[in-house]
Amino acid sequence: MSDFSLHPRLAADSLHIADLPLCQVRLMNDARYAWLVLVPRRDEIREVYDLSADDQARLWQEATALGKALMAAKAGDKLNLATLGNMVPQLHLHVIVRHQGDEAWPGPVWGQGQAVPYEAKQEAAMRDCLRNCLEAGGLA
């Protein structure tokens, strides 16, 4: 494992949840959505294809297993998976559970309205939920 440093904007916008074999799992601090960001713990990576083939496979496996568990836990209507990174060059994968009628539905969530930071109780509940999801996804 090489050193890994998190882009300051990702650090500011999200909360640390867990370190998986490849990715750091972070919760976007926006209670409007169940919205995770997975950041491969490798330096100098901008694109998925900059990762080794093994790491690429691990990225998708971690994202898909966690996304599936979170969809079940939150009774989601659609899972959005996306690497955009036009603002933050460090590779990061968005994993977002969408519900019909959520604030941005059916559009994408980025740039829509203002983030609503978690209150302490909500955050604790979400951390519990995510702990269960990591177990359900075979990632804990």
Residues that bind a second copy (CB under 8 A): 46-49, 56-57, 60, 64-65, 67-68, 71, 78-87, 89, 98, 105-108, 110-111
**Residues 76, 34: contact at Cβ < 8 Å?**
yes
Nearest approach in angstroms of CB 117 to a second copy is 22
- The letter for the amino acid at 132 is N
Q: Rounded CA gap, 135 and 103, in Å?
A: 29
Nearer to a second copy, 20 or 71 (CB): 71
Closest distance of CB 99 from a second copy, Å: 10
What is the C-alpha to C-alpha distance for residues 102 and 99, in angstroms, rounded to an integer?
Answer: 5
Residue 53: CB minimum distance to a second copy, A: 9
